[in-house]
Structure formats: C-alpha cells, structure tokens
C-alpha cells in the first residue's frame, strides 16, 4: 500500500532543491524544505495523540506553514477541514461539533475565544500564526524532519469541506484521496502545466479553488508558486512579470483592468489566465482580451466535485460558457421533476458523475441520498444547458445560491438572522449583480405591524453574527413579499426589481 494523495502530490518531490514557493519578502521555500516542514508537523500531530481518520479543523491565515499543515494531515492519514477565516465563533462551533474534530488549529489571536468551544466538544487546541509562529509551530520545530507516511487508498477520506443548501445546517462534503488527485491530474493535462510553470497564487487556501485547484495542480506538475497572502493590486502587478500562469476570481480581473499599469506588455510572457468560483461577465472577457491579447479560460466546479468542466486550452474559449466536461467527467442536463435527460439546448438541472464526485455528506445519509443518485450522478442544484457546439452554459441556481466574490452565500442562513431582529416580521434575501463581486447580498425586510426596524442597528449586529462575505450590502423595506398561488416567495421578481441596486 501507499498514501495515494501524498505520494503523488508531494512524495515525488522529496529530494528536490527546486523552489516551490516564492514569498513576498523575497524568501524561497524549496520542495525539500517544505517536505521537512510537513514531516515535522505530521510528527507533531501524532504527538498530540491524533490517529488515522481524526478530523483537524483549521482556521488560520494563509502562509507556507498553513499549506504545510494540509500536507501533514495527508501524510498522517488525518482528515483536513479548512475553515474560512471570516467565520464567527458561532459558526465555528457548529463545524467543530458536527465534524467531531479532535484538534482545532487557529490564529493565536483567536485562542481565547475558541478555547471554550474546543473544550466543550473535547477537541485539543493549538495556534498557528500568519508569521509561522504559534504553539503548534513551536511543537513542530522540535520534531524529526522525517515521517513514515501513513498508508491511504483511493476511497479513504482526505478532506471535509462544509457547504450549505438553502435550508438546514451546513453539510460536510466528504472528499476522498481519489477525488482530489484525479482532478489535479486532469487539470495538469488539460491546462498544460509543466515543471517550468510559475503560478501567481493570491487566492485563499481555505477554499477549494486556492487549495485543491491551484496548489494541487502546481504540486502535481512540479511547478512553483508565487505565494501571496491575498489579492493586493500593487503586489500582483509587481509579481506578474515573474509568473507564467494565474488563477483568480472575476474580481481579480476587474480590478486589474481598472489599473493603467496592467498592459499587454506586462503580461506578454504569460501563457494562461484562469477564472472561476463565480460567473465572469462577457464584458470582462472582451475588455481583458482587448487590453492584453489573452482570453481568460473559464471553468466550472463546486465543493462536492472540484472541477467539472473547462473551456479548452486549445480552441475557442467562449464567453458566457464554462466549456466542456473534463476527461472522465460525465455531465448531463435533466428534468428536475422526472430526472430524464433533456435534449441539447433545453434548460434543466446539471448532474455530473466521475472520479471527482464526493463520497457523500458527513452523518447525513438522507441528504446524501437526495443529491447523490444510486448510479453515481450528483445533482448539482445548478440550472444549465448544453449548446449545439457542446459548450455548457450555467443559467442559474435552483437553490437560490448567491456567489459573491467567489464565496458561496446561502440566503436561508441570512434570512434566519434577519427574521430574528426587532421589528422584522419576515425577510427575503437575494443576490443582485455587482460590478466587482459578480453578485452581492440584498436583504428585503417586511416590518411587523406598527413597527419600524432599525436598519443601521441590524447591519451592525450582522457583523458579529455573520462572516463578512455574508453581510447584506443593503437592506430595504417592503410592505409585502411577492408570492405565487402556493404562497412561495417569488425571488425571481425581487431579483428583477432590484437588479440595478448596485450599479455604478
């Protein structure tokens, strides 16, 4: 036996002195030193009493050490659970309890707030700071730089990623070693990654895009990354001349286009720009190509499946589409009521099947059965169609999911918060177009009789109750919500009514 994911992504680089990470301060992390850091951390995890299959919940800032902790969990046979750094204590409590995490690793500044939560659910607590310090880093530094990698097979769990529907609590999507590795290998092939590539990485690594797409593709190809903490326009422009590829969300590209320094000469040497996590406007496609001569490659993926489709590397990259199913991935458009496959050109729900499709939802067999068919097809919840040329179009989301700046926002969670506010009878939350974030959150409130909700106070309370990317950008009052004859709120009417709310 072997460790499928670790051996194929990291073990092959064990003795290489080649640069893996270029850091903003000019420092370089080689593959060899990264693997030594990972081994020390794997030893530290075992020293803390963790064993195969235990969950490690991680809410830390982006750093080489944070990436090494992911590698260490794979090497030690543990299940890695990355958590958005914007999540509040209330939100984290659910993830820690539901996952049954044995260890919680957070930034040192949050230890006091999280300690009580970890203790309540029987989890160990360690810190890891953005500068590489913290109690876990200190422990790892005392450990040996070699670790005997734990055997893990294709179907063994590697990662939990939490995602929500429009009702109920968040679901823990269980991803296996095969799910992650198969996707990385396909993307290396389809996007032509080689050991000579240098990827400009400014994405968060608590998100599938930054970790399982960007970082894993570089590892699988033996390339290098310019590893920036976040998207900073000045840093991006400064580092672009040293990169060959870049992955980002639409916001990255709109902000680059807004800067006069971003020119065709600046990126003449680049071979590929990839966009995902949110729809890219056709206008952005056109402006980018006119400015640089490059046509952005757009693709389509989700938490439960990683990447499903991609526009072609060689061939026409069509704006407004997400290209073709990746090799090994089957995609069909079906009737939501009957499940029957629809002819090309008709809009229906998108279903996918392949080695990339997750194993199911943690401790939610009924929800798994609802969304993962017995024949292996996953019902994505997205509405789309396949055109005459075979290109896949994403039309909308039949679960009213909002994608703002690349992050999933689920209206029901925000509605529950708004409904509980003083003076609010009921609420509806919709996504409306935003020139920078793709979509943003709009909250519509219906006041209780003879009451006037304090909108500013509600917005202020949202700051402590909800992660920042979930905050409504605007709250509006209505007398009543539009409903159909069955009493269901017609959110399509609200989206149309307020679609210009953020035009600038």
Q: What is the CATH number of the domain that holds 137?
A: 3.40.50.980
For 263-315, write each residue's pLDDT tens digit: 999 999 999 999 988 778 777 899 999 999 999 999 999 999 999 999 999 99
In a domain, 171, yes or no: no
Q: Are residues 316 and 460 in the same domain?
A: no
For 380-436, the pLDDT digits (tens) are 988 889 999 999 998 766 667 788 888 878 777 888 899 899 999 889 999 998 888
User: Is residue 386 domain-shared with residue 463, that is, in the same domain?
Assistant: no
Rounded Cα distance, 177 and 6, in Å = 9
**Domain-embedded: residue 503:** no
Per-residue pLDDT at 237 = 98
319 with 357, same domain: the answer is yes
Clarify whether residues 120 and 257 are in a common domain: no
Q: Are residues 415 and 350 in the same domain?
A: no
Q: What separation in angstroms does the CA of 113 have from each of 20, 110, 411? A: 35, 5, 27
pLDDT exceeds cutoff 50 at 504:
no
- Is 165 among the domain residues? no
Give the β-pairing of 55-59 and 103-106.
parallel
Structure tokens belonging to residue 377: 């097809």
The CATH number for 335's domain is 3.40.50.12780
Residues 6+ positions from 208 with CB-CB distance below 8 Å: 161, 301, 303, 306
The answer to whether position 447 is within a domain reads: yes
Q: Can you give the pLDDT at residue 484?
A: 59
Domain final position from 397, 428, 446: 397
Q: Is the model more confident about 451 or about 395?
A: 451
Same domain (yes/no): 421, 386: no
Q: Are residues 43 and 149 in the same domain?
A: yes
The per-residue pLDDT for range 128-175, each reduced to its tens digit, is 999 999 999 999 999 999 999 999 999 999 999 998 544 457 899 999
Asked whether residue 421 falls in the same domain as residue 320, the answer is no
Percent with pLDDT over 90 in the chain: 77
Q: Please check whether residues 119 and 229 belong to one and the same domain.
A: no
| Phi, psi at 214, each rounded to 5° | -65, -60
Q: Match 């001349």 to its residue by tokens.
A: 241
Q: What pLDDT, in 10s, does the model give residues 176-193?
A: 999 999 999 999 999 999
Specify whether the CB–CB gap between 118 and 17 falls below 8 A.
Answer: no
The number of distinct structural domains making up the chain is 3
Alpha-helical runs (H) found in 327-469: 365-371, 411-419, 455-465
Indicate if the pLDDT at residue 113 is higher than 70. yes
Alpha-carbon gap, residue 486 to 385, rounded angstroms? 28
Are 487 and 374 part of one and the same domain? no
On whether residue 78 sits in a domain, the answer given is yes
Rounded to an integer, what distance in angstroms lies between the CA atom of residue 397 and that of residue 395?
Answer: 7
pLDDT at residue 1 in the model: 60
Residue 443 domain boundaries: 402-497
pTM above 0.85, yes or no: no
The verdict on 357 and 481 lying in the same domain is no
Q: Are residues 413 and 373 part of one domain?
A: no
Q: Is 196 exposed, middle or buried (0-12, 13-18, 19+ CB in 10 A)?
A: exposed
């Amino acid at each position: 036996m072997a460790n499928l994911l670790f051996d194929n992504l990291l073990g092959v680089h064990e003795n290489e002195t080649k640069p893996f990470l270029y850091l903003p301060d000019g420092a370089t992390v080689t593959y060899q030193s990264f693997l030594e850091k990972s081994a020390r951390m794997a030893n530290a995890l075992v020293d803390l009493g963790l064993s195969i299959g235990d969950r490690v919940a991680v809410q830390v800032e982006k750093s080489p050490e944070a990436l090494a902790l992911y590698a260490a969990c794979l090497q030690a046979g543990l299940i890695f659970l990355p958590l958005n750094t914007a999540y509040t204590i209330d939100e984290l409590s659910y993830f820690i309890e539901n996952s049954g995490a044995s260890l919680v690793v957070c930034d040192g500044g949050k230890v006091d707030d999280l300690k009580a939560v970890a203790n309540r659910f029987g989890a160990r607590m360690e810190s890891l700071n953005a500068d590489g310090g913290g109690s876990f880093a200190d422990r790892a530094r005392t450990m040996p730089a070699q670790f005997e990698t734990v055997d893990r097979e294709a179907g063994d769990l590697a990662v939990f990623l939490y995602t929500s529907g429009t009702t109920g609590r968040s679901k823990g999507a269980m991803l296996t070693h095969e799910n992650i590795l198969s996707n990385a290998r396909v993307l290396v092939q389809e996007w032509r990654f080689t050991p000579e590539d240098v990827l400009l990485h400014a994405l968060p690594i608590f998100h599938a895009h930054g970790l399982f797409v960007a970082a894993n593709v570089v590892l699988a190809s033996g390339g290098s990354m310019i590893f920036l903490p976040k998207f900073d326009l000045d840093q991006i422009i400064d580092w672009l001349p040293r990169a060959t590829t870049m992955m980002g969300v639409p916001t990255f590209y709109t902000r680059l286009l807004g800067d006069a320094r971003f020119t065709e000469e600046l990126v003449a040497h680049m071979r590929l720009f990839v966009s995902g996590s949110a729809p890219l406007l056709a206008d952005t496609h056109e402006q980018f190509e006119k400015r640089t001569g490059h046509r952005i490659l757009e693709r389509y993926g989700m938490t439960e499946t990683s990447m499903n489709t991609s526009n072609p590397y060689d061939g026409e990259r069509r704006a407004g589409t997400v290209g073709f199913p990746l090799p090994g991935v089957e995609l069909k458009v079906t009737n939501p009521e009957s499940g029957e496959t629809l002819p090309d050109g008709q809009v229906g729900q998108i279903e996918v099947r392949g080695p990339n499709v997750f194993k199911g939802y943690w401790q939610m067999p009924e929800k798994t059965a609802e969304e993962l068919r017995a024949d292996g097809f996953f019902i994505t919840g997205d509405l789309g169609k396949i055109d005459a040329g075979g290109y896949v179009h994403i039309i909308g989301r039949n679960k009213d999911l909002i994608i703002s700046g690349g992050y999933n926002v689920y209206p029901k969670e925000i509605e529950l918060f708004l409904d509980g506010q003083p003076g609010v009878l009921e609420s509806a939350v919709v996504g409306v177009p935003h020139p920078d974030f793709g979509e943003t959150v709009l909250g519509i409130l219906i006041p209780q009789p003879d009451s006037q909700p304090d909108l500013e106070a509600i917005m202020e309370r949202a700051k402590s109750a909800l992660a920042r990317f979930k905050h409504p950008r605007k709250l509006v009052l209505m007398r009543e919500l539009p409903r159909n004859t069955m009493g269901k709120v017609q959110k399509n009417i609200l989206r149309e009514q307020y679609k210009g709310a953020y035009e600038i």
